[in-house]
Structure 1
Amino acid sequence: MPRLGWQGEVRRPSLEGGTMIYTLISPLDMHIHFREGAMLRAVAPLSARDFAGGVIMPNLVPPVDNLDRLVRYRAEIDTAIGGMGFTPYMTLFFRAYSEAELRAARPHIIGVKLYPAGVTTNSEAGVQSIRDAEPTLALMEDLGIPLLVHGETGGFVLDREREFLPIYAHLARRFPRLTIVMEHITTREAVALLDDSPNLYATITLHHLQITLDDVAGGLLQPHLFCKPIAKRPEDRAALLQAALTPHPKVMFGSDSAPHPVHAKEAAACAAGVFSAPVALPLLAEIFAQHDALDRLQTFVSDNAQRIYGVTPPFKRVVLRRESWCVPQRYGEVTPYYAGRTIEWRVVRDSGEQGQEGARADANAPN
């Protein structure tokens, strides 16, 4: 893929006491699963510590598919992360909405998330037919509400995203004023589609920048790397990495951090999801530094998302230092991505702006 221009602010690494540091301004995670109850209280501060905001997924049980449910869920999130300088950008679960419902919800949401029925966790109430969804999509286009999509079919697991790409192309043509975000893309064909459709955008996860299907199932099965969409081939990973490092002006970071308790992951019916929230920024810094692209990380993790969605997150200065640390085996009941492994970068705190945030997140660290 040719190197594309980008409009974000150039933020270059510097040295402090002989150690390389890099400062991000208001990083954003544009795809997070917070869950509810005790799990939310455990994991949400880990994202709020490092990010200024994030797009919260609505596939709960029952789904977040009405304004009352959304307002209650937002209040629960605010209680869990209060005072941490983090904006939860809320989404509704796609269903047939009336114009009145969407108008009432518009001030409270960043978009509506479409799940094809049964393709991922808690998506049984998802869309059965794209054609049946079009009246609601037309309303969203008129009201300027973005559409976020988990783009997979029910076909063979490695082909599910590729099979969905013609649907993306159809929607982009059918609703040219509708902002459509292809969530957590995993294939080189999806990257290429960005250049063919002006109103298509995409999020890319941390783990899809690093792993392939061989890491998941090439030897002993690695349940904590199992996710949907599943990791693909090395050439797909290479295309995603190029898009992120450039960075392509239509891609944003979205972790798809999806916590499950250990008993749900290390089980015969393994739940899909990679819990990457505690390590997202350090590992992204490591990846970008390895490719001599650290000065572009700001654009990938914040600037593009602000421009695409038209949001202004709270100001938050996040300092990354090249300083190795070992990832804990557990955060509460959840095994994180990179558990037990060493990362060469870490987020550092100070006694000022970050102090309260660090203290809140440390309370959720493993015992």
Structure 2
Amino acid sequence: MLTLEAPLDMHLHLREGAMLQVVAPLSAQAFAGAVIMPNLVPPVDSLERLTTYREAIEAAVVPHRFRPLMTLFFRAYDRATLEAARPAIIGVKLYPDGVTTNSSGGVSDLARVEATLALLEELGIPLLVHGESHGFVLDRETEFLPFYAHWAQRFPRLTIVMEHITTAGALALLDEYPNLAATVTLHHLLITLDDVAGGLLAPHLFCKPIAKRPEDRAALLAAALRTHPRLMFGSDSAPHPIHRKEAAGCAAGVFTAPVILPMLADLFERHEALDQLQAFVSDNARRIYGLEPPTKQVRLAREAWQVPERYGDVVPFAAGETLNWQIVEVR
């Protein structure tokens, strides 16, 4: 038996409408809270839009005890807007324009963001970043790392979260700059680019940032297993309907929400690090963000179960596979 206290998913996509109704309860059952991404159409870039979206999420997760931690889509906000939004948000999420799903309207000139970053630093609002360039796909995260280094030095009191990191190089930055933190996903701890495209294309494993090399996966896994103090779990669970995944122009995103805690328990157990899982899925995030999440105990047991082939019109990670751990009680 394994008991996790208030597990947190620090990077989650819940979508809207019918998709929200399908996927939100799956995260809310397993987690005490999650950082909700704002890249909808239109984006969540005003307090009014954010409030409406939060209320829709709260309605969708009833009766689960779950706190949506909301973010604003980055733009050149003025002080009054950020001051008004501050009580309602955990951070502001920066997307380079067109770099991933629903990121049109993101930042087209990274040299022009510093006035807003200065306000975020002054107001104590973290900056969350999808850190990729528009270069060669395997190099996009690496090409973005100098921006993290520059901002970390230029704004030393600003908490900057490198979202869903995929490379050993990104990990190295955590040891250089104390105001940098990072999230890492379940799927980037398990797969490489070979799993996505080494044989027949596996569309349900295609995501951005794309899975990288075995040595990158090994570095990420080692950091998670030893619970690097500024590394947090963030699923980047990103559901798309089957017709968007199994198609030309395959949508980027891996839907991991139904299997996260069982697969993490199995992964950490196999590496004799089960005692580190609590820090990875909750304690580090609480410390980095200063969070007091809702009280919630999630108990898992080493009992086999089979992952469904579908949740609504979405194919989950490990669809049809038998997992060794499952959630048996939530209190």
Which TM-score band (shorter chain)?
over 0.9
Task: Indicate the residue corresponding to 2:144 in structure 1.
Answer: 164
2:142 maps to amino acid: R
Residue 83 of structure 1: how far off its partner (Å): 3.1
Structure 2 CA distance for aligned equivalents of residues 243 and 37 of structure 1: 37
Please point out which of 320, 323, 335 is paired with 2:300. Answer: 320
Structure 2 CA distance for aligned equivalents of residues 347 and 253 of structure 1: 18
Note the alpha carbon deviations across 1:253-289, whole angstroms, 9 max, x for none: 0000000000000001100000000000000000000
Residue 132 of structure 1: how far off its partner (Å): 1.1
The answer to whether the aligner puts 1:349 opposite 2:299 as a matched pair is no
Residue 163 of structure 1: how far off its partner (Å): 0.3
Task: Indicate the residue corresponding to 2:315 in structure 1.
Answer: 335
The answer to whether the aligner puts 1:177 opposite 2:157 as a matched pair is yes
2:79 maps to amino acid: E
Please point out which of 101, 110, 118 is paired with 1:130. Answer: 110
Please point out which of 202, 212, 235 is paired with 2:182. Answer: 202
1:236 maps to amino acid: D
1:160 maps to amino acid: R
1:48 maps to amino acid: A
Task: Indicate the residue corresponding to 1:237 in structure 2.
Answer: 217
Residue 240 of structure 1: how far off its partner (Å): 0.3
SS at match of 2:302: strand
Please point out which of 271, 281, 290 is paired with 1:301. Answer: 281
SS at match of 1:76: helix
The answer to whether the aligner puts 1:70 opposite 2:70 as a matched pair is no
2:2 maps to amino acid: Y
Which structure's CA Rg is the greater one? Answer: 1
Residue 126 of structure 1: how far off its partner (Å): 0.4
Structure 2 CA distance for aligned equivalents of residues 262 and 83 of structure 1: 28
Alpha-carbon contact 2:300-2:329 (below 8 Å) kept: no
Residue 342 of structure 1: how far off its partner (Å): 1.1
Q: Counterparts in 2 of 1:8-47, with a 5 A limit?
A: 21-47=1-27
The answer to whether the aligner puts 1:107 opposite 2:60 as a matched pair is no
2:20 maps to amino acid: L
The percent of aligned pairs where both chains have the same amino acid is 70
2:143 maps to amino acid: E
SS at match of 1:89: strand
Structure 1 CA distance for aligned equivalents of residues 19 and 312 of structure 2: 9
**TM-score, length of structure 1 as denominator length:** 0.90
Structure 2 CA distance for aligned equivalents of residues 128 and 175 of structure 1: 21
Residue 129 of structure 1: how far off its partner (Å): 1.3
Q: Which stretch shows the higher mean deviation, 294-303 or 81-90?
A: 81-90
Task: Indicate the residue corresponding to 1:193 in structure 2.
Answer: 173
Runs in 1 of length 4+ with deviation above 3 angstroms? none
Aligned-residue Cα RMSD (Å) equals: 0.6
Structure 2 CA distance for aligned equivalents of residues 132 and 122 of structure 1: 21
1:241 maps to amino acid: L
**TM-score, length of structure 2 as denominator length:** 0.99
Please point out which of 250, 256, 261 is paired with 2:230. Answer: 250
Alignment: residue pair count:
331
Task: Indicate the residue corresponding to 1:282 in structure 2.
Answer: 262
